[in-house]
Structure 1
Amino acid sequence: MSETLKLSQARQGDRGVIVQVGNHAHHDEHAMELERRLLELGFVEGARVEVLHEGLFGRDPIAMKVDDMRVALRRHEAARLTVRFEPAAA
């Protein structure tokens, strides 16, 4: 069974598929701009993500693989992405 969480809650080695970008409540200009940037970087619904590395202090930033590219995001940016995580392999 898969689990749906914010990408900011992921740990190194977690893999999944993006199911939502932003929260679709467009009242905040900053939130809208961040959502636009994430989409431009390739964080689109259906994209596969894998957390590759976490920073030493506060686990920030997060390095991840998004489809075939590698990107680093801050945790507050990753919190805008909802991901359906695959269960860990036994």
Structure 2
Amino acid sequence: MPEIKLLSKMKVGEEGSVKNISSKAGTLKKRLLDMGCVAGCKISVKKLAPLGDPIEISVKNYSLSLRKNEADAIEVEVK
């Protein structure tokens, strides 16, 4: 059964699909949607910086780096 996690809590190599982007994110939500982080899209964690910030993810065949507080706004359904 799939598990819902915040993107910031995922480990390197974990994959899933975007379930929701927090509405309290405001302008960040619009920016994430513009970059392709829409509900249902596949996402995977590629790299973590030594202190866990930033996080490099793969979304729609490109790499994207997000700060940990930005990744806190994205809920992922992990497989």
TM-score interval for Structure 1 and Structure 2 normalised by the shorter chain: over 0.9
Following superposition, the deviation at residue 67 of structure 1 comes to 2.1
Task: Identify the residue that residue 28 of structure 1 maps to in structure 2.
Answer: none
Structure 1: gaps of 5 or more residues: 26-30
Task: Identify the residue that residue 26 of structure 2 maps to in structure 1.
Answer: 32
Is 1:73 aligned to 2:66, yes or no?
yes
Query: 2 CA distance for matches of 1:38 and 1:81?
Result: 9
Following superposition, the deviation at residue 56 of structure 1 comes to 0.8
Following superposition, the deviation at residue 21 of structure 1 comes to 1.2
Is 1:10 aligned to 2:10, yes or no?
yes
Greater percentage in strand: 2
Q: Aligned residue pairs: how many?
A: 79
Runs (4+) of structure 1 moved beyond 4 Å?
Answer: none
- Give the share of equivalent positions with the same residue, in percent: 30
User: 1:41 pairs with 35, 38, 43, which one?
Assistant: 35
Structure 2: gaps of 5 or more residues: none
Structure 2 length as normaliser, TM-score?
0.94
Q: Deviations over 1:21-57 (max 9, x none)?
A: 12x35xxxxx311111111111100110010000012
Query: 2 CA distance for matches of 1:67 and 1:47?
Result: 7
User: Greater CA radius of gyration, 1 or 2?
Assistant: 1
Structure 1 length as normaliser, TM-score?
0.83
Query: 2 CA distance for matches of 1:33 and 1:82?
Result: 17
